[in-house]
Amino acid sequence: MSAIDFSKRRFAAIDLFPVAGALLTSLMIAALGLASLRVDSALQASTSALLVAVLFLMRQASGRDFVRVVFLLVSFFIAVRYFSWRVQFSLRYEGLPNFLAALLLFAAECHGFMMFTLTAFINIRPLQRRSEPLPHNRTLWPSVDIVIPTYDEPVELVKITMAAAAQIDYPRNKLRIYLLDDGATQAKLCSESMIVRQTALKRRKDFQALCAQMGMTYLSRSDNRRAKAGNLNAALAHIASELILVLDADHAPARDILLKTAGAFVADDRLFLVQTPHFFVNPDPVERNLSLFNRMPSESAMFYGAIQKGLDFWQASFFCGSAAVLRRKAIDDLGGFEGRSITEDSETALLLHARGWRSHYLMQPLVAGLNPETFTSFMTQRMRWAQGMVQNFIFHNPLLTRGLNWYQRLAYLSSMAFWFFPFARVIFLISPGFFLFFDMKIYNANFDELLTYTLPYLATTILMTHFLFGKVRWALVSEIYETLQSLFSIRAVWAVLRNPDQPTFKVTPKAETLDKVFISPLALPFYWTLALTAGAIIAGGVRWFHDPEHRELIAITLAWAAFNFFIVMSALGALLEQRQRRLTPRIPVKIGATWCRENAKGDVLHQWPVVIRDLSMGGSNVFTKQAIPPASNKAVDYLDVIDPSGQVERYRIKQVTRHTLNDGFSLGIKLCYTNLEEFSRIVRLIYGDSERWMNMQFVLGTDPGLLKTVAFVVRSGAAHGIHHFERLLKLTFGRNSYDTQV
């Protein structure tokens, strides 16, 4: 061995982490020291401008690891300089009311800064994981129990999920499927209410019949204690496989879900979880009401498309309740699914991480689910998440829970602390009014300081968000969603803080239909907020003329209030519920197929090439260049589709509508089924191909640029906000027209 080899080996053997850590700590201390120096204004202005320009130029290179680190570190430096100035120079006691208001605003900013820092940390090196292949020897494949917990979802909806689960590609002798019906517990069957008894009994009969048909096991229990966690724990006594695939009632799995996830458990025996993204085929209320669906990345794309990847790097990606495979042994190690909080999924994951178990996040959508249809349902879901995460923060504070690594603590802290955003959001909404209405000194700064410290910080937050999440979350979307949630979540979170054990699990209603356009009953607080904001703007306008020496500050606060006004208007636009009559959503596709017409004997009468444009259990839309006449009574139409394995699948169809286009014909068809087998094949056609979800995600996951995305969201939000008020005026002054879809 040469001397060089020896020294290299010796060098490699030295653990560099402590050395690097010490050096890095020193450098970070130096950086923090630099950040706290308040140099002259001109130097601060030029430095900030230069650093922001650097961020602006670097923002397109988010894929490069080193560039990412530089970007985030420069952003952090700007943020720390801002906060150093904020703490040292902008907080001043000028009377108790002013001070309290200033403290409120400062607390909200501290939350923002904390999230800024944690977000930068979490997303510094997102992990793009590939699926682990299963071994060639199938005898080594682990056994899997698929559990589908259900509570009050419609049978027709759950049937889809059951049919899709039954068609998962996996050895039958290693696969068992269980339906966990919490809607027909003994307690419900014996309820004093006849309606409850009858509903439960019917539900039980329907599901038992379905399970029998599909070869699944029907499980129920005596009561609904601990909601979903209790349901799952009750099932544990009846299931025994090595792995558990948990599917929500509306999460239809793709055929290859286990082929892509089970292999990781074979490769790593300390792995307790492979989580996959929740992919939704219908818009959430905000996307639908603001006409944003399929025009920009969905709201869940930011979490599943970026943040979970960051958490995965830090070994902190957590169980999201569905679309995940867990190791039975790990669950047993914990004594079952944890259910103290109402987000038992993340709670379970945290405790397992603390016991040294590992998790994976696979960024491939392998299930297709449904978003809540109404804003009320949406808020039910979000408040549960907020309350659950705050409960987790209280019961299992990540900073104090033993067994977690320091990076896991920060990762969980980030996930939990985020849910305190309602407080910050509300404070940001009302703060301009403190100054414009009451001339309260909530932010002690002159115009130069706002330009040299505050503005660069704001620009940095926008640029950093765009850098990290530009492809999965467009500008201003977060503001609209958070504002929508904040007025209700703040009460929910406050209730948890006062009594952490108080919240109860509320199931998110799914598959609702909306027959008419109407204003959400939850709009009232936003009217008040809008009125207050408008009043603040008017007060600012008056002060502009009467208080000329403060015009600069008034202008900045007015701009802030105007921004709030736009956001609240957009929120109101989202609260004008649009009509939605389909029980199952239409999924946009582009599949070549053949329309085949046969006679009663089975002879092919005619064939036409068509392109399937969308699919749903209720029907489909196809495009053809040739006119396809309606079938006679003696003829039967089929649609022949080549599936991913190359086989031709035939589906019986019926033409329902026909529209002539410039370049062809658009035909609405119904996919017909008379038995379970046909039903299942249709399910397989619609939900079985995971590549379809990947392509949809890829198409939407683009970044047209910051300015374009801002313009797009502004136009949408403003237009729908105005429509909301048009509707409101019509309702108020007597014309109750609900038919106009916007």
Partner 1 sequence: MTLKFRNTGFRLFALLLLACSPGFSSTAQANSRTITLDSLTARPDPAVIRNAEGFYSLSFPVSDREKPLGAMLDLHLINSNALKANRSQLVVYLNGMVLGQIRLDPANNATMARFKIDDAFLRAGYNNLSFKVAQHYTDNECENWGAPELWTQLDLTRSSLTLEYEALPVRENLADLDRLINDRVGEFSLTLIRGHNQVSDDYLYWGSVIAQGIKSRLNYVPMHLAEYYQPPLDSKTADHFGIDPKQLNGDAIIVGTQSEIRHLLPEPVAAAVTGPYLGLFRQELSPDRFILVIAGRDASEVSRAVKAFALIGALAVDSRETVIRDLAYPLSPALAKPSVMFGHAYPLSALGFKTARLALDAPRAEWLFDLPADFYSTDDTTVGFNLDIAYSAAMRSDSSIQIRLNDVLVSSVQLRDESGAHYQNYRIDVPLRSFKPGQNRLTFDAVLTPLYAGECLLPQRNHLAAYLSDRSIVSFPEVAKVVSLPDLALQQATGFPWVDNATAQQSAFHLLDPSSDSIVALWSFIAELAAHRQTQILDLTIDQGSYQAGKHDVFIGKLTPSDAQQKLAGAPVVVDGWYQIASPHRQTHTPTLTGFFEWLERILFSPDALPQASTIRDDNALILQTANWGKHFVMTSYFKPDSEDKLALAILTSPGNDLTKGLEVLDRQLGALVAGDTVIWDSEGRLQATRYRDPKVIGHDNAKMTWIMHFSRHPWHWLAFIVVVLGLSSWLIHRVLSAYQKRHHA
Q: Which of residues 235-274 bind partner 1 (CB under 8 A)?
A: none
> Does 38 interact with partner 1 (rule: CB under 8 A)?
yes
> Nearest approach, Cβ of 35 to partner 1 (angstroms)?
9
- Which amino acid type is present at position 693? W
Nearer to partner 1, 69 or 642 (CB): 69
> Does 449 interact with partner 1 (rule: CB under 8 A)?
yes
Nearer to partner 1, 43 or 729 (CB): 43
Nearer to partner 1, 77 or 99 (CB): 77
| Whole-number Å distance between alpha carbons of 87 and 110 | 10
DSSP 660-694: E-SSSEEEEEEE--SSHHHHHHHHHHHHS-HHHHH
Nearer to partner 1, 71 or 141 (CB): 71
> Nearest approach, Cβ of 131 to partner 1 (angstroms)?
14
Among 7, 9, 42, 726, binds partner 1 (CB under 8 A): 42
Three-class secondary structure of residue 659 per DSSP: strand
Catalytic site residue from 145, 248, 256, 345: 345
Among 27, 212, 267, 661, binds partner 1 (CB under 8 A): 27
| Whole-number Å distance between alpha carbons of 524 and 546 | 33
> Does 552 interact with partner 1 (rule: CB under 8 A)?
no
Which one, of 145, 152, 172, 151, lies nearest residue 236 by Cα? 145
- Which amino acid type is present at position 581? R
> Does 94 interact with partner 1 (rule: CB under 8 A)?
yes
- Residues 142 and 262: beta-carbon distance below 8 Å: yes
> Does 356 interact with partner 1 (rule: CB under 8 A)?
no
- Which amino acid type is present at position 107? A
HEC letters along 131-168: CCCCCCCHHHCCCEEEEEEECCCCHHHHHHHHHHHHCC
Name residues whose C-beta falls within 8 Å of residue 128's C-beta, 6 or more positions apart in sequence: 309, 363
Tell me the HSE value of 732 on the side-chain side, using a 13 A CA sphere. Answer: 6
- Between 116 and 155, how does the x/- string for binding to partner 1 read (CB under 8 A)? --------xx-x-x--------------------------
> Does 46 interact with partner 1 (rule: CB under 8 A)?
yes
Q: Where are the alpha helices (DSSP H) in 224-302?
A: 227-236, 257-267, 285-289, 301-302
Could you confirm whether 181 is annotated as catalytic? Answer: no
Nearer to partner 1, 20 or 458 (CB): 20
Q: Which stretch binds partner 1 (CB under 8 A): 27-35, 281-289, 666-674, 698-706?
A: 27-35
Could you confirm whether 223 is annotated as catalytic? Answer: no
| Whole-number Å distance between alpha carbons of 276 and 252 | 13
> Does 40 interact with partner 1 (rule: CB under 8 A)?
yes
Among 30, 57, 100, 542, binds partner 1 (CB under 8 A): 30
> Does 340 interact with partner 1 (rule: CB under 8 A)?
no
Nearer to partner 1, 42 or 399 (CB): 42
Among 57, 61, 69, 531, binds partner 1 (CB under 8 A): 69
Q: Which stretch binds partner 1 (CB under 8 A): 28-36, 103-111, 349-357, 376-384?
A: 28-36
Q: Which stretch binds partner 1 (CB under 8 A): 41-49, 253-261, 328-336, 650-658?
A: 41-49
534 CB-contact burial (10 Å; exposed 0-12 / middle 13-18 / buried 19+): middle
Q: Which stretch binds partner 1 (CB under 8 A): 34-42, 179-187, 670-678, 694-702?
A: 34-42
# binding residues, partner 1 (CB under 8 A): 42
> Nearest approach, Cβ of 662 to partner 1 (angstroms)?
50
Name residues whose C-beta falls within 8 Å of residue 704's C-beta, 6 or more positions apart in sequence: 712
Among 55, 59, 62, 74, binds partner 1 (CB under 8 A): 74
Q: Which stretch binds partner 1 (CB under 8 A): 48-56, 506-514, 554-562, 630-638?
A: 48-56
Nearer to partner 1, 65 or 152 (CB): 65
> Does 89 interact with partner 1 (rule: CB under 8 A)?
yes
- Residues 521 and 415: beta-carbon distance below 8 Å: no
> Does 87 interact with partner 1 (rule: CB under 8 A)?
no
Q: Which long-range contacts (CB under 8 A, 24 or more apart) does 105-109 make?
A: 105/427, 105/428, 105/431, 105/434, 105/442, 105/443, 107/423, 107/424, 107/427, 108/423, 108/424, 108/427, 108/428, 108/431, 109/83, 109/424
HEC letters along 583-606: CCCCEEEEEEEEEEEECCCCCEEE
Residue reference for tokens 């019917």: 202
Which one, of 410, 397, 396, lies nearest residue 340 by Cα? 396
Three-class secondary structure of residue 612 per DSSP: strand
Residue reference for tokens 């259900």: 150
Residue reference for tokens 């229990």: 221
Nearer to partner 1, 102 or 589 (CB): 102
| Whole-number Å distance between alpha carbons of 638 and 607 | 9
Nearer to partner 1, 16 or 201 (CB): 16
Q: Where are the beta strands (DSSP E) in 50-90?
A: none
> Does 73 interact with partner 1 (rule: CB under 8 A)?
yes
> Does 91 interact with partner 1 (rule: CB under 8 A)?
no
| Whole-number Å distance between alpha carbons of 401 and 411 | 13
Nearer to partner 1, 40 or 739 (CB): 40
> Nearest approach, Cβ of 338 to partner 1 (angstroms)?
25
> Nearest approach, Cβ of 339 to partner 1 (angstroms)?
30
Residue 244 parent element (H or E) = strand 243-246
Catalytic site residue from 181, 182, 250, 256: 182
Name residues whose C-beta falls within 8 Å of residue 472's C-beta, 6 or more positions apart in sequence: 297, 301, 302, 305, 306, 701
Q: Which of residues 6-25 bind partner 1 (CB under 8 A)?
A: 16-17, 20-21, 23-24
Nearer to partner 1, 43 or 212 (CB): 43
> Nearest approach, Cβ of 451 to partner 1 (angstroms)?
9
In the complex, the residues that contact partner 1 under the rule CB under 8 A are 16-17, 20-21, 23-24, 27-28, 30-31, 34, 36-43, 45-47, 49-51, 65-66, 69-70, 73-74, 77, 89, 94, 124-125, 127, 129, 313, 315, 448-449
Residues annotated as catalytic are: 182, 345
